[in-house]
Each structure stands twice: as structure tokens, then as C-alpha cells.
Chain A
């Protein structure tokens, strides 16, 4: 894929910034061109665009979102937006559920992880929502294991937690008209998988890292 930003992507980023009035804070790290996986809570369609638009443009050009294939391939418009505009990495999240036994789950999971590792390549960064689906915004759901496996597969890539606040009120799941409230985006301190750290322990730690970045608190 090319490193040029699609004009529609720039336009959507500007619109999303305007609507969400997002206030960005780099609390635990600085913007950097090194390879990163930004992982955040997920409660709105605006999440990815807002997070992406908060990155400096040279970093933005090399940062791709991970998105669900079943959703983003459903209509031609979605497919166009995902593939051509944002160069999304589309993953088939249904396959693990369809797998018949533990071995198959393992196999499918391995396959998804390889796809993500491939998307990272040598210069790209990813935006990742480990909850797997949009929540109500009140609580962060449990993280799926992909983040853990990817972190083990590519230990050289920094894992940066981020918290998107109030976007669930601007454009909640199931609505298509936004309400222009203000929102906050906080980037935290990069995380590493500790030696011998269990999968569940790491995922819980990653989830807490995201949750701890909340600034206003539950409303």
C-alpha cells in the first residue's frame, strides 16, 4: 500500500476533529515515527478517525486501523472507506467463534495474528480496539487476546494505550447523527509484556492502562 493520505481521509479527519472538539494530551509518551500499536477503548464510529486525526500527518500516513471484516465489507460504501480511504486491515473476527475445537481456535487465531504482523511490516503502525466491538462507553469490556499474541510476535513494536472520552455521547452505537459535545483523548505510557506474564494478566493490565487515562470520570 502507498503512504499517501487519501483526500477523503483528510477531510473526514478534519470533520471528526471539528465535531468532537477533541483535546489531545500526550500524557505518557510523545508522538513518534517509530512503529507502534495504539490501543484504545471503543464506543463510537468516530473513535478511529479521531485517534488517527490526532497523530501528526507524517505518522498518520503510516498508521492503519484494524477493523472487522464482516462489518466493513457489508456495503460498497463501507468497503470503499475501509479499503481505499483508510487502508484498513480487515480481520475476520467470526472465524474463532466458528472453530470447532481448541486446536482450530489456536490455528485461526494464529492466522489472524500473522495477518496483523504482516500489516505492521517494517514501517507501519496500527490502531487497534482490543474490545473487539463498540461498547456503551460506561465500562471498558474485556480485551481479546490478539493484542497479547501480537505483542509477543513483534516485541520491537511499542504498545501505546489511549483513552477516548465522551465520544460515546457524540456518536453512540446505532446513531448516525452526531451531537457536537467536546471530547478528550489521552495517550498513556507504552506497555510491554513482562517475561513469563500470563495472557490474562497482561490483557487485564493493558485494560487498566487504558482505563487509568480517563480524565473526567464516569458521567
Chain B
């Protein structure tokens, strides 16, 4: 896999392009920060710098993923899932009676999901959490014997497992798809997904700042506007379309896939904003500074990854 990746000129180009963009945004971020007056605090600039910092980490993770191969990347994404779920479960209220269910979620369900991926047992990988775990969680809470807020507690834990274990595991799952004529190049597909998704988030933000007027759901996310959404989605889709040469798609297919990734990504971050509102926090990272923030960075991927994965699987894998 390492050799394949190094000999994959298109992957190198794609990666180099991303690194170049990152360097530019790091310099822009630094310049803005140094120009800013000492006493004033500008959350937009800080937010940008935090985001750029996270992208460097994502790039590093991606590079490691390519070097360590299949098992290594599963372990790596497993750890990311684990940390995301840790953030989620810390901030979502649970009761004493949920303790053992939570233990199962962290130490059995989560690792099992990634093991299934390792064994390439797709049928069970796709159904274990929506079916088997769906049945197991309420049963486990019921056995604990506390019926107070039973439905809510079950739903909270189920959502956490779905978002952090199930949805996120579809990102590395892309590495294992067998697309005819595209063997050994799946890393490009992963980079494509993450790049389009992240660009969509940023461009929506930029367009929103420039021409944003009509709020989508101001109660949930005051910064999201229809203008920003349309502008961001269209421009990120254009970027994604231009990258068709790195994917198994034709330019038209690439446009469609990018559009879906952008729309699902926005849906993901809107839903995660609603969850944060419900818990009463602005960012998952703010309350537990130093540890937090993983979930804030991957919120849009949570929805985009599984949809992208299944479309590729059903239309491009015979």
C-alpha cells in the first residue's frame, strides 16, 4: 500500500495541492492575527486559526493513514471515533443506570465496528449498529432497572453510537471499496471526500459573511444563512468537480457527488448544532478545553461520509 501510494502521482498532486492551500491559509491566519489590536478579541480570526490547526492535523492523519496501511488506518480512525464519542458522552446527560450500557458502547460496540471493517464483513458492518445495537441498548438500560427518562436515555446513547461509531467509521471504509479500474487509489477518494466537505464548510462561512441575509434556522445556528449555504455549496461543488481526475467519477458524476457531500455536510453540522443547543453549549470543545473539539471538526463528515460511501458502493462497485 505504501509503494502504491508513493507511485500514485495523482494522489501526490492532490495532497500537494491541499498542503499548498493550507500553507496559504496558515499565512493569512497569522497575518490577520498579528494585525489585530492586542486588546481586541476577534472570534472570527481565532476560529479560522483553530480550523487551520485542525486541518494540519487532518493532513498529518491522512499521511499516516497512507503509510501505515489498512490495519493502521482502522486503528487510527478507531481512536478518533473513540475520542469523539468520549466528548459526546461526557456532555450528554446520562444516569447512573446507563453505566454498563456506556461501558459496552465504548469497549465492545465501538471496537467491534472497526473489527468488522478489518474483516471486510460488509453486511454486518452496515447493519450491526442500526439493528443489533438498536435492540441491545434499550434492553441493556432496561436490565439496569431504572425507567426514569427511559426513552430519552436510550435515544441519547443510540445517537452517540450512530454518529461517532457508525457514521465516522464510513470514512476509513472508503479505503476498502473495490472499484474496478481504481484499485489501490482509494486514498484519493478519502482525501476527495474530506477536502470537498471541509471546503464547503469554509466557503459557506465566507459567503455567509459576504452576502448572508436570510437565516436558515437562527435559533439553532445564527451564522448559517441561505445565501451562504447556496454560495458555499455551489463553489465547493465547483472545486470538487474540478478534481474529477482524481476520482473514479466522470466530471458530471463528480459534480453530483460533490453536491451531495456538500449538502449532507451542511445537514450534519446543522443537526450537531441543534444537539449542542439542546445540551446548552456552543461548542463541544469549549467546556472541556484542551480535550474538546474533535466532534466540532468532524460534525459535517458524520453525515456526508456514510451517504457518500453507500452511493459509491452501490453505483461504482459491481
Asked if A179 and B103 sit within 8 Å, CB to CB, the answer is yes
Shortest CB-to-CB span from A213 to chain B, Å, is 15
Binds B, one of A6-14, A73-81, A180-188, A192-200: A180-188
Residue interface mask A183-219, B partner, CB < 8 A = 1: 0100000000000000000000000000000011001
Q: In the complex the two chains form, what is the Cα distance from A149 to B96 in whole Å?
A: 35
Asked if A172 and B99 sit within 8 Å, CB to CB, the answer is yes
| B25 in the interface (beta carbon within 8 A) | no
Q: In the complex the two chains form, what is the Cα distance from A180 to B106 in whole Å?
A: 8
Residues of chain B contacted by A178 (CB below 8 angstroms) = 103
Residue interface mask A12-25, B partner, CB < 8 A = 1: 00000000010100
Q: Contacts A23-B289, A169-B94 known; A177 to B100 CB distance under 8 Å? A: yes
| B89 in the interface (beta carbon within 8 A) | yes
Q: In the complex the two chains form, what is the Cα distance from A175 to B96 in whole Å?
A: 10
Residue interface mask B98-110, A partner, CB < 8 A = 1: 0110110010000
| A84 in the interface (beta carbon within 8 A) | no
Residues of chain A contacted by B210 (CB below 8 angstroms) = none
Q: In the complex the two chains form, what is the Cα distance from A172 to B100 in whole Å?
A: 11
| Interface residues on chain B, number (Cβ under 8 Å) | 17
Q: Across the two chains, which residue of chain B brings its CB closest to A169? A: B94
Main secondary structure of the interface of A (DSSP, over half): loop
| A53 in the interface (beta carbon within 8 A) | no
Shortest CB-to-CB span from A129 to chain B, Å, is 20
Asked if A182 and B86 sit within 8 Å, CB to CB, the answer is yes
Shortest CB-to-CB span from B304 to chain A, Å, is 26
Q: Contacts A23-B291, A175-B99 known; A182 to B87 CB distance under 8 Å? A: yes
| A166 in the interface (beta carbon within 8 A) | yes
Q: In the complex the two chains form, what is the Cα distance from A215 to B289 in whole Å?
A: 12
Q: In the complex the two chains form, what is the Cα distance from A216 to B90 in whole Å?
A: 10
Residues of chain B contacted by A136 (CB below 8 angstroms) = 96
Shortest CB-to-CB span from B23 to chain A, Å, is 32
Q: In the complex the two chains form, what is the Cα distance from A45 to B89 in whole Å?
A: 20
Shortest CB-to-CB span from B242 to chain A, Å, is 41
Contacting B86 at CB < 8 Å: which of A175, A181, A215? A181
Q: Across the two chains, which residue of chain B brings its CB closest to A216? A: B287
Shortest CB-to-CB span from B93 to chain A, Å, is 4
Of residues 1 through 47 on chain A, the ones whose CB sits less than 8 Å from some CB of chain B are 21, 23
Residues of chain B contacted by A169 (CB below 8 angstroms) = 94, 99
Q: In the complex the two chains form, what is the Cα distance from A92 to B290 in whole Å?
A: 40
Q: Contacts A23-B290, A23-B291, A216-B287 known; A180 to B86 CB distance under 8 Å? A: yes
Of residues 233 through 292 on chain B, the ones whose CB sits less than 8 Å from some CB of chain A are 287-291
Contacting B99 at CB < 8 Å: which of A21, A179, A215, A216? A179
Residues of chain B contacted by A175 (CB below 8 angstroms) = 99-100
Q: In the complex the two chains form, what is the Cα distance from A172 to B102 in whole Å?
A: 13
Q: In the complex the two chains form, what is the Cα distance from A175 to B99 in whole Å?
A: 8
Residues of chain A contacted by B291 (CB below 8 angstroms) = 21, 23, 182
Asked if B287 and A219 sit within 8 Å, CB to CB, the answer is no
Contacting B89 at CB < 8 Å: which of A172, A177, A179? A179
Residues of chain B contacted by A180 (CB below 8 angstroms) = 86, 106
Residues of chain A contacted by B99 (CB below 8 angstroms) = 169, 172, 175, 179
Residues of chain B contacted by A219 (CB below 8 angstroms) = 93-94
Q: Contacts A23-B290, A216-B287 known; A181 to B89 CB distance under 8 Å? A: yes
Residues of chain A contacted by B289 (CB below 8 angstroms) = 23
Residues of chain B contacted by A21 (CB below 8 angstroms) = 86, 291
Q: In the complex the two chains form, what is the Cα distance from A216 to B96 in whole Å?
A: 18
Shortest CB-to-CB span from B109 to chain A, Å, is 13
Residues of chain A contacted by B103 (CB below 8 angstroms) = 177-179
Residues of chain A contacted by B100 (CB below 8 angstroms) = 175, 177
Binding site for A on B (CB under 8 A): 86-87, 89-90, 93-94, 96, 99-100, 102-103, 106, 287-291
Binding site for B on A (CB under 8 A): 21, 23, 136, 166, 169, 172, 175, 177-182, 184, 215-216, 219
New A-B contacts (11) at CB < 8 Å, excluding given A169-B99, A179-B99 = A21-B86, A23-B290, A23-B291, A175-B99, A179-B89, A179-B103, A182-B87, A182-B291, A216-B287, A219-B93, A219-B94
List 20 contacting pairs A-B, 8 Å CB cutoff, sorted by A: A23-B288, A23-B290, A136-B96, A169-B94, A172-B96, A175-B99, A175-B100, A177-B103, A179-B103, A179-B106, A180-B86, A180-B106, A181-B86, A181-B90, A181-B102, A182-B87, A182-B90, A182-B291, A184-B288, A219-B94
